[in-house]
Amino acid sequence: MNLINETHDINLTSWVESANQANIDFPIQNLPFAVFRRKNSNEEFRGGVAIGDQVLDLNVVATANIFNGLAQEAVVAANAPALNEFMGMGQEYWSALRLALSQALRAGSEHQHALADALVAQSDIEFSMPCHIGDYTDFYTSIYHATAVGRLFRPDNPLLPNYKWVPIGYHGRASSIDVSGQVFHRPNGQTKAPDAEVPSFGPCKRLDYELELGIYLGKGNALGDAISISNAENHVFGFCVFNDWSARDLQAWEYQPLGPFLAKNFASTVSPWIVTTEALAPYRTCWTRDENDPQPMDYLESAHNREAGAFDIQMDVLLESEKMRADGTPACKLSESSFKHSYWTVAQMVTHHTVNGCNFLPGDMLGSGTQSGPDHEEAGSMLELSRGGKESITLANGETRTFLNDGDKVIMRGWCEKEGFNRIGLGFVEGTILPAK
């Protein structure tokens, strides 16, 4: 299965000059989608595509009527306050529009004059959620994260026996997911200290982030119909960077026997751009399972999944404290990891999620789970970095943390790079914590 096509050619350049700069997130080989409008305007939100430091306004593209066939149908659908209709059209339409946009934005394109007025500087826009997320499921795909966290809660039995057999997930809360720039109050709830006889109520004391990817579903499946692993990726529209904020002290008290609840549903933040699965084709890599571990059941196994089911998407986490903002000092990096370490692939998540007949709708989202790597420095949460709050993390300006303080802003970034292909980025997601109400 050859997933590389002309849109990935490293030699492509754009008439949008900023797209040709080195090491940017949005060269012509990327072309991610978002929903935007100009700042301080009463404009309708509508679809846009990132190119360099600009956004291509799909309202202008759709009304210019310069595309044909599937591409024109797709751009009309993407010219909307939410991308669900476009996402539900399927791979054939996504690819047709991607190719048409790539050709229209290339240096020397006959459409340059028609589209010159379709560009809006990214510095002049604001985002809405890229789609309506009807349902959200958070997975637990990093065995390094699962083992480290399990060791904190269950020292004698850190990794439960089902982990290596089943892509574990739980049904999350879609209503509290918001786009980058989300500001929220520290959650209140019940906690119970280890030496206390009864629980207490008040603000969370162990607020944390989780470094994740969001995986957007496109074309859905009918209730009762499973999606096979050979067809799973045809249902995946694209990816974003995702911060699934967590209240660890609430979590410790409530998570047994039914799993995450109030510790997870008060806020979750997504980056505004959806990088399509097709754009990520060059950064796929082989997926393996340790020969000493259980191998996937037949319904979770395929040659393609072994050969190219993993994605080498690099991610990092930065923290900007109130003091850093006041002093004008930059945010400091806490850790960096990659999605290639995931124990389960996207295709396996999709397939397992539907094997019982569960139906997806366009815009549904999967969380990858916290993406921690094999080394402690690659941990995707403060829970791991501080070893359960037992070790302080020293920031670049001398401040220390075990968990997040009020006023802290967490910034997460994602990108892909590989020899022979242009670097592309997923952009960034940021959110800021306010004091509890």
Catalytic residues: 145
Q: What is the DSSP letter of 176?
A: G
Q: Is 140 annotated as a binding residue?
A: yes
Whether residue 324 contacts residue 330, with contact meaning beta carbons closer than 8 Å, is answered with yes
Judged by DSSP in three states, 430 sits in strand
CA distances for 135 relative to 286, 314, 358, 360, 364, angstroms: 29, 26, 11, 8, 5
Q: Is 126 annotated as a binding residue?
A: no
Whether residue 300 contacts residue 229, with contact meaning beta carbons closer than 8 Å, is answered with yes
Q: Is 102 annotated as a binding residue?
A: no
Determine if residue 202 is left, alpha or beta; phi over 0 gives left, psi from -120 to 50 gives alpha, anything else beta.
left
Give the Cα separation of 303 and 348 in Å (integer).
13
Q: Is 418 annotated as a binding residue?
A: no
Instruction: Name the strand (E) or helix (H) holding 181.
Output: none
Whether residue 265 contacts residue 247, with contact meaning beta carbons closer than 8 Å, is answered with no
Q: Is 255 annotated as a binding residue?
A: yes
Count of C-beta atoms within a 10 Å radius of residue 43? 14
Q: Is 154 annotated as a binding residue?
A: yes
Centroid of chain to Cα 239: 5
Centroid of chain to Cα 425: 12
Give the Cα separation of 417 and 294 in Å (integer).
32
User: Considering only CA atoms, which of 367, 389, 373 is closest in space to residue 335?
Assistant: 373
Q: Is 138 annotated as a binding residue?
A: yes
Q: Which residue positions form the known binding site?
A: 138, 140, 154, 210, 212, 244, 251, 255, 264, 268, 370
Q: Which residue positions form the known binding site for Ca(2+)?
A: 138, 210, 212, 244
